[in-house]
Chain A
């Protein structure tokens, strides 16, 4: 009995050895396959065969930020349909004058949301001069008043307007 222990190869031992080896190979292949699936899912197996270096999340974000900044830079003075997009002001030959005179102190939205006649705009300028620290507009005043009263003149809206059908968002009430 003890003699048999040292006989080699022993058929029983060999069978056990082969069985273990088969299992080992199966597990290794499974693990490798799982890793491959994990690494390339869901981009697909085609990525196995190219040598691209895929950017990190940080790099992607950086790239997106650059793109956004470039776009913002390009859009800085973009004009569409006669409107200077960044400020929302009507774009004409007096735009730069208006932008330089008014927006250092307040938003262009304060201009674009208001409507007044020539006299009304002059009154607002006088009020800003009297109380808000606006200086004398000198020779620029006529052009400024012209711009404002031309592009931001009052609409005749009557004593009360219809509800604005354009802006109502109709919805089914549950």
Chain B
């Protein structure tokens, strides 16, 4: 409980979650399945028990009624939130937990752990013991099978760190028309952190890679929403070429701290610049495959777009859908927060980040006249490949009125961001339309 800091005035999060779906909030937030069942709500006659619970301070007692906000927490000064996460994240879904970061909170150079978005497909593992955690590497294209403890990884391979951008393939889905199914991400399913771990390349070479290797895939310890223990939640991966890149990592630390529970504690993959679903969390197994991997959410329409462009609303056959690899060029204005009111004589300093899959961002421009004219921003050089870059500019406004500040990045291959939505696709991936914020000049 000590790490669940929250102010009294910020009770909204937990209360909302519980109001929306008490049992699921229980499960999602506390990892608790109540034996009383979904309607096991406490009755007035059971209040005596409740009092005993309260008096004895047994907040997490097994028989605590389903879906109640543990009563002591109701007015505790340290109630609850998504474990390890800020109350300011926007919760899109509470089972599985999916939460995004408002653009202005992505302002720091590197995204803090408590502000990094959460995209869960299943239920995170409970009671993780890092001492007994192992990672197995196997597969038909592996020369041997090896199993490593976390200590093995830390002691037997060079420890490296890189700044890598993770973005959900569906970031921006909310804007597609016709709408696409899934979590309706706005702009906040992205972040860039400092990751510490080992190069995946070193591990794969330690096990031995056969010549016919095509793909690597992961298996995590999260469990399926349906409760079926034999069902794999998600098992995706990347082509062997991406896996062997210097910056492809198996990590145990994020911004020099242990991974947050929701971001894969104690071990995960990180492939910067590719859909974050490639970067398996709660990592316990990697397989080297001799074919393109065919695990859950690798096939069908998941994380795929039409191989050839289609009109909006088209039903596309599975065989005409292609796997998403590097994410497209994109940028976010992180300062100021949308809705700023400033005086006319003021020079506004704006800033944000830009990223472009496996490429570097070459330049970034801003417009205050709805795209009629564009002005350059200064942009930092990337810390390493797959790290987002920081931009800034000084903006003057010609007269009072309503403005939109738009930002448009261009990568080293000349690819740029559209101002309207990019090509429609059935699942609503890859929306890299330019970011817009509202400003009033008085």
CB–CB A68/B404 < 8 A? no
Q: Which residues of A contact B (CB under 8 A)?
A: 58, 61-62, 64-66, 68-70, 72-73, 75-76, 85-88, 103-110, 113-117, 120, 123-124, 127, 130-133, 154, 156-161, 163, 165, 168-173
Task: Check B158 for interface membership: any CB of A closer than 8 A.
Answer: no
CB–CB B19/A69 < 8 A? no
Bound complex: CA A81 to CA B121 (Å) = 32
Nearest-neighbour CB distance to chain A for B327, whole angstroms, equals 20
CB contact between A103 and one of B21, B47, B72 (< 8 Å): that residue? B21
CB–CB B68/A72 < 8 A? yes
Contact status of A159 and B337, CB under 8 A, knowing A70-B44, A103-B24, A108-B20: no
Bound complex: CA A103 to CA B94 (Å) = 11
Contact status of A107 and B24, CB under 8 A, knowing A85-B19, A159-B421, A171-B341: yes
A-B contact pairs, 30 of them (CB 8 A): A65-B50, A65-B74, A66-B50, A68-B71, A69-B47, A72-B22, A72-B69, A73-B42, A85-B19, A86-B20, A86-B22, A103-B21, A106-B225, A107-B94, A107-B95, A108-B20, A109-B20, A109-B21, A109-B94, A113-B93, A116-B181, A120-B181, A127-B300, A133-B231, A156-B177, A157-B175, A159-B177, A168-B438, A171-B337, A173-B340
CB–CB B71/A160 < 8 A? no
Bound complex: CA A130 to CA B297 (Å) = 12
Task: Check B3 for interface membership: any CB of A closer than 8 A.
Answer: no
CB–CB B228/A133 < 8 A? yes
CB–CB A61/B54 < 8 A? yes
CB contact between B184 and one of A64, A114, A165 (< 8 Å): that residue? A114
CB–CB A114/B54 < 8 A? no
Contact status of A65 and B183, CB under 8 A, knowing A133-B226, A163-B438, A173-B336: no
User: Which 7 A-B pairs have CB atoms at the shortest separation, nearest pair first?
Assistant: A65-B71, A173-B340, A133-B226, A107-B95, A115-B179, A168-B339, A113-B184
CB–CB B21/A110 < 8 A? no
Nearest-neighbour CB distance to chain B for A95, whole angstroms, equals 14
CB–CB A163/B338 < 8 A? yes
Question: Which residues of chain A are near B224, meaning CB under 8 Å?
Answer: 132-133
Task: Check B96 for interface membership: any CB of A closer than 8 A.
Answer: yes
Task: Check B55 for interface membership: any CB of A closer than 8 A.
Answer: yes
CB–CB B54/A65 < 8 A? yes
Question: Which residues of chain B are near A76, meaning CB under 8 Å?
Answer: 41
CB–CB A170/B226 < 8 A? no
Task: Check B307 for interface membership: any CB of A closer than 8 A.
Answer: no
Bound complex: CA A20 to CA B19 (Å) = 68
CB–CB A113/B183 < 8 A? yes
Question: Which residues of chain B are near A72, meaning CB under 8 Å?
Answer: 18, 22, 41, 68-69
Nearest-neighbour CB distance to chain A for B419, whole angstroms, equals 8
